[in-house]
Amino acid sequence: MEWHLQPRKKDSKVSNRIERDSPGNDVERDHSPSGSGFAGAGSVDMRLLTHNLLSSHVRGVGPRGFPLRLQATEVRINPVEFNPDFIVRMIPKVEWAALLEAADHLHLIQVPKEPIQGYEHNEEFLRKMHHVLLEVEVLEGTLQCPESGRVFPISRGIPNMLLSDEETET
Amino acid sequence: MDHAAAQLEKQHVHDVYESTAPYFSDLQSKAWPRVRQFLQEQKPGSLIADIGCGTGKYLKVNSQVHTLGCDYCAPLVEIARSRGCEVMVCDNLNLPFRDQGFDAIISIGVIHHFSTKQRRIRAIKEMARVLVPGGQLMIYVWAMEQKNRHFEKQDVLVPWNKALCSQRLSESGQPGRKQECGHPERGYPYHPACSACHCSVCFEGRCNSKRSHSVDCDSVLAGTCCANISKEGEEENGFYNTLGKSFRSWFSSRSLDESTLRKQIEKVRPLKSTESWANSAISIQPSRHSSFDLGHPETLSAGEQNLDEEVFVEPSQGPREWLRAPTTCKQLNGDHPGVIRRNGDGNFLGGANAKESCVDEGNLEEGTASGSKLWRRISAADSTDSNPGDAISVEEQQPDVLDSRAFMRYYHVFREDLPILDLSFKRYHRLCGSFSFSSLTFLRLMCITLYNAY
């Protein structure tokens, strides 16, 4: 009868990792590892990998709506288990210029101008990219369309990309 | 017309999900096997979008991929976020993604909520736009052909009534019996000991009860329903049967598809209160054409009437007289289908006027109080595109008590002769694929898998 239900998974493994990897961080916060095979129980906010996919859909803007200009008033670092294979596969999908710009706006560590030659085996590079793409989360901020200036809010980690009725009218 | 579609969706999709979202927060429902399989087949390191993710049921199925969830409903998105999923609020019709960003996309129980073909296609086009060439798109929608129920129309409203579940919860003497309410793919709330999860079955349009009952399913009537359900269900399959029953109750919704709309839909003013019904001047404009969407009143023949015989009643006298017909308005007191009334010269009364006119001034005390929902059915007399004899009903609701008790969700259920298996768009959209059917115990679904063949 309960085929549709499944119990919540407890995330005891995760908290150990937090303490080991990021001693200065908020240890109460669980994280949601990506590519690690385990589902976390904490909340996840907007990450730069996601920002890299976002584009303005304001009428008439088209491809000039990418990338959205990211401003953040509240950011947190949420450790994620490092999965090199995952990052290697993700690198070719990244729009690099957009990532550079976003990382810059968040005052993050210097991101390489482009993927390093032989990045697949360069752990330092991969770890850096892992950090930038998956561990930096925006809780509060804005995303601005570079063409129209329209601002989309990020609140409680959730971007709201809805346009108003007037903006979407055909 | 798109505005009317948006309004219908706002009332019968967005507002309902927003209102019912709290009930989903404690529930984790199981991922459907084929969707789960689809997700697990994706290559590691893939970027996947779940468009219409709800509470994020599918966002963690595959830990080797990066899955983004988005949904129009902010409360549901909040729930997904709290479960550790990365999500956003957005509109399927205007996806805020750059082109060709995703390796795969899933759309589970989403596009059947769009009320016009144009919008459904647009939703699919948007998903195709953000899909890489060769990327796959999996769509799940309700099928029109069902096992345990029969949708006569493709545009339907299906009730979901949590309030009545709670009521039954307290009244039920069967604590061990587990029941379900609500929508399967939305992770319906789990109400233990609710033995009749859908007293809204009482409100089924085809209910033959002659009792006038208010929206509040009183215990007597509820008892009747529950008794029926208990009798019919086997013990272990009891709740499936009940849930199946619950989905058997549905109402026709108006169809907003362009092919069936010839004229601008008139915005129907919602009823305020019975008092105002009684006092307002009732205007009858026989010159207004029959239905919102098509047909000319004079072409409605007796033959067409046979299709919906139970709802068409000939007035005994002139235009005003039918207002007082007691039978009619008794039916209007509950959630029975309303009636189309013709005035003396055979013209239908269309638009808001007819609705107001359906008030039985004499019988207002019979419990129309604020909870009634009026239904009207209008035959598609001469629509060239819709099936001959399709009845298109207009659902009109009072924005008060009833809304909070009987959430009605709009669905456009999909037929087997699905025309969208090869969609060619401009530029780099070309979707090809196949469809098949799958079943939950009580619900038959159409599964459409497409890939971007560009």
Q: What is the pLDDT along chain A (170 residues), one digit of tens a residue?
A: 333 334 334 443 333 333 233 333 333 344 444 443 333 447 899 999 999 999 999 988 888 999 999 999 999 999 999 999 999 999 999 999 999 999 999 998 788 888 989 999 999 999 999 999 999 999 999 999 999 999 999 999 999 999 987 777 54
The confidence score (pLDDT) of residue A109 equals: 75
Q: What is the 3-state secondary structure (H, E, C) of B109-133?
A: CCHHHCCCHHHHHHHHHHHHHCEEE
What average pLDDT score do residues B221-238 get?
Answer: 35
Which residues on B lie below 8 Å from A3 (Cβ)?
30
Which of the four pLDDT bands, split at 50, 70 and 90, describes residue B123? very high
Interatomic CA distance for residues A112 and A133, integer angstroms? 13
**Nearest CA to CA, how far is A77 from chain B (Å)?**
15
Which residues on A lie below 8 Å from B178 (Cβ)?
1-2
The confidence score (pLDDT) of residue A103 equals: 94
CB of B33 less than 8 A from some CB of A: no
| Closest CB from A7, A39, A158 relative to B89 | A158
In this prediction the pTM is 0.61
The confidence score (pLDDT) of residue A146 equals: 94
CB of A113 less than 8 A from some CB of B: no
CB of A56 less than 8 A from some CB of B: yes
B28 contacts A5? CB cut-off 8 A: yes
Interatomic CA distance for residues A143 and A157, integer angstroms? 12
**% of chain A surpassing 90 pLDDT:** 60
Which of the four pLDDT bands, split at 50, 70 and 90, describes residue B279? very low
pLDDT at B358 over 70: no
Interatomic CA distance for residues B323 and B341, integer angstroms? 9
pLDDT in tens, B161-184: 554 333 333 333 344 343 333 344
CB of B60 less than 8 A from some CB of A: yes
Chain B residue closest to A91 (CA)? Answer: B45
Return mean pLDDT, chain B: 60
The interface residues of chain A toward chain B in range 64-83, judged by CB-CB distance below 8 A, are 66
Q: Are B406 and B158 in contact (CB under 8 A)?
A: no
- Which segment, B68-77, B207-216, B382-391, is predicted with the most confidence on average? B68-77
